[in-house]
Structure 1
Amino acid sequence: MEDLSIRVANLDDVQAIRSIGLVTWPATYLSFTSPDFVMENLNTWWSHGSVSASITDDTTFIAFQDGQAVGTLTFGLFEGEPVIWKIYVVPEAHGRGIGTALMDVAFTAIGPAYDVRIEFVKGNSAAQIFYERRGFEFDFEEDMAEGFTTVWLRRPAGPIISAT
């Protein structure tokens, strides 16, 4: 990985993180959801306020390659357990190990003593494969109000082994 750096995001990174979301969400979700679903989530989860809150209330990392913001990951707590809320890498940087590097940084920050949860929208097979290669296993599914299904996975506590 040429010139990859990952650090904890700060409020000066809000626009860079938003730009990652604005590029990745349509590319990721339009093939198996709807334009309305994508726009609603962009307006909700990738708004200035939401990204700012993820930086101040949770732990958000930002990845840079050759000076460009290319990926982000946010984790926090849900029902008392660590959960990775977001992990996105801009499409043109896929396959460079950036997602794996972000995941490894998160696992290190969380530590080996905790199960880690993650969720994705059913139909996102690329995310499912990526997560399962990193030790996540099916936990449960829940229906979303928008008519889609959220799949929850859990990675059991234990040593951190990179999937590179």
Structure 2
Amino acid sequence: MNNLSIRPANLDDVQAIRSIGIITWPATYLSFTSPDFVMNNLNTWWSHDSVSASIADDTTYIAFQNGEAVGTLTVGQFEGEPVIWKIYVLPDTHGRGIGTELMNTALTAIGHAHDVRIEFVKGNSTAQTFYERRGFKFDFEEDMAEGFTTVWLRRPAGPIISGS
């Protein structure tokens, strides 16, 4: 991985993180959701206020390659357990191991003693495969108000599985 660096994000990174979301969300979700779903979520979860809050309240990482922001991941809490809320890498940088390095950074910070949860929108087979290769297993599904389904996975406590 040529010149990849990952660090905790700070409020100076809000625009770079928002840009990652604005680029990745349509590329990720339009093939199996709707334009309204994508726009609503961009306006909700990728707004300046929402990204600022995730940096202040959770742990958000930002990945840089050759000085360019190329990925982000946010770790928070859900029902008293660690959860990875966001992991996105710019589409033109897929396949370079950036997502794996972001995931390993988060899992190392969380530690081996905790289960970790993650969720994705049903139909996102790329995310599902990526997560399962890293030891996440099906936990439960829930229907969203927008008519789509959220799939929750859980990674049992233990060592990192790097996946490929």
TM bucket by the smaller chain?
over 0.9
CA positional deviation for 1:161 = 2.8
Q: Which residue of 1 aligns with 2:142?
A: 142
Q: Which residue identity lines up with residue 87 of structure 2 in the other structure?
A: I
8 Å Cα contact 2:22-2:42 kept in structure 1: yes
Between 154-163 and 139-148, the greater mean CA deviation after superposition: 154-163
Q: Could you tell me which residue of structure 1 aligns to residue 92 of structure 2? A: 92
C-alpha distance in 1 between matches for 2:163 and 2:57: 28
TM-score, with normalisation over the residues of structure 2?
0.99
- Taking the aligned partners of 1:67 and 1:81, their CA distance within structure 2 comes to 33
Gap runs ≥5 in structure 1: none
Distance apart, 1:159 and its partner CA: 1.3
Q: Please list, as runs of the form range in 1=range in 2, the aligned pairs for 1:75-114 lying within 5 A after superposition.
A: 75-114=75-114
Any idea what SS the aligned residue of 1:140 has?
strand
Runs of 4+ off more than 3 Å: none
Q: CA RMSD in A?
A: 0.5
Mapping 1:11-90, distance limit 5 Å: 11-90=11-90
- Partner SS for 2:161: coil
**Within 2, Cα distance between the matches of 1:68 and 1:106?**
20
Question: What displacement does 1:160 show?
Answer: 1.8
Deviation string for 1:94-127 (max 9, x for gaps)? 0000000000000000000000000000000000
Q: Which amino acid aligns with 1:120?
A: F
Q: Between Structure 1 and Structure 2, how many residues are aligned?
A: 164
The separation in 1 between residues aligned to 2:76 and 2:40, in whole angstroms, is 22
What is residue 116 of structure 1 aligned with on the other side?
116
1:162 deviates by: 1.7
Q: Give the aligned partner of residue 3 of structure 2.
A: 3
Distance 2:37 2:162 in 1: 33
Q: Where does the alignment leave 5 or more consecutive residues of structure 2 unmatched?
A: none
Deviation at 1:75, TM superposition (A): 0.5
Measure, in 2, the Cα distance between the counterparts of 1:41 and 1:160.
Answer: 30
Supply the distance in 2 between the matched residues of 1:163 and 1:112 (Cα, whole angstroms): 16
